[in-house]
Amino acid sequence: MKDRKNIPKTALPRLYFIDREIASGKYPNTKTLAKTYETGIATISRDIEFMRIMLNAPIEYDYMRKGYYYTEKTFRLPAAYTSADDILALGMTKTLLALYRNTPIYDAASQLMDCVTAPLEETEKSRWYEDRIIVPPVPSTQFSPEIWQNICEGLRKNLIIDLDYRNTWKGSYFSRRVHPYQLLFDNGSWYLYAYTEEKNDTRIYGLSRMREVRLSDKTFTFPDAGDFCTHFDGSYFGAYSGSKKQHFRIAFYGNGALRIQERRWAADQQIEETQEGLILSFTSAQYGKVLELVMSNGRDAMPLEPEELVHDWQENLRDMQKRADSAN
């Protein structure tokens, strides 16, 4: 066999997928392999030739069954073609899929990853990471499969969609006609980033707040400015996009200061240490998420700038105090 250095590293998962499909006895052809793996037929054809020539895989084509098979029934690509780092990386990728549990893509992605990694997991020893590297579960939002399917279809074909949506607790549903730009995943929740015709602007819609999504027969052109990542403006607060960029200064204390220091919140952030903690300064257009950051740190956070943030923080504190007083 040829030396492992000849195997394109990025192709390894795909090669093991092809190996598993051929070894299953299902007689797959290039068309079915390409469709299942979501790649091109030409790519699969090159992979099969590579397996034949470089890896001595006994692959033949059965013209009666119209698919490939191994002339040696017990042949499988050996895990030796992958390094320990390759195996660990694939295994950790499987682990990270837990972030998407209870979302529409989890089952399909998990099954595909199982197919890819099966030849690499021949012993319990090779799967040591399953019990030692984990992703703790996070709360996830729920929505119907039909909503997911229709949005994906709209994204794929650039179809304008109509959706019924509500944005307040016990609020009534209202209709919006939107151009779906991108799906965003943030901390267990899915969002649609879209241009809204009624508002002549882009908006972010939570899929869990949608009652119905209807595909129209009208199309739109995905604009150059349709990428959400071009609008978060150098701050890293997830699926939120505001229209006004502001300068923020927030004081953090105790454990709050420690947590803040451990992460990067914006490209231009500055941290000034104080006797009681630190002051975090940065610019951002993600106002709602910044307020959420302040409130989530409770007594360990106090906004200093801008005045709007200070005012909203104080309003929240007054409301909390009213509820605390009513509970006594």
pLDDT digits (tens, 9 = 90+) for 219-244: 999 998 889 988 777 889 998 877 78
What fold does the segment set 145-227 form as a domain? SH3 type barrels. (2.30.30)
- The CA distance from 23 to 6, in Å, is 23
Count of alpha carbons within 13 angstroms of residue 173, beta-carbon side:
11
Residue 121 has pLDDT above 80, yes or no: no
Give per-residue pLDDT as tens, 132-175: 778 888 888 889 989 999 999 999 999 999 999 999 888 899 99
Give per-residue pLDDT as tens, 250-307: 999 999 999 999 999 999 999 999 999 999 999 999 999 999 999 999 999 999 999 9
At residue 179 the predicted structure's pLDDT band, cuts being 50, 70 and 90, is very high
Residue 183 has pLDDT above 50, yes or no: yes
Measured between its terminal Cα atoms, the distance across the chain in Å is: 78
Q: Give the pLDDT score at 220.
A: 97
- The CA distance from 63 to 126, in Å, is 38
Count of alpha carbons within 13 angstroms of residue 197, beta-carbon side:
11
Q: Give the pLDDT score at 317.
A: 97
- The CA distance from 89 to 95, in Å, is 10
306: helix, strand or coil:
coil
Least confident of 13-27, 40-54, 100-114, 295-309: 100-114
Is the distance from CB of 204 to CB of 192 less than 8 angstroms?
A: yes
Other CB atoms within 10 Å distance of the CB of residue 54: 14
Domain boundaries, the chain: 4-81, 84-132, 145-227, 246-327
Q: Give the pLDDT score at 328.
A: 73
What fold does the segment set 246-327 form as a domain? Alpha-Beta Plaits (3.30.70)
Domain 4-81 sits in CATH 1.10.10.10: yes
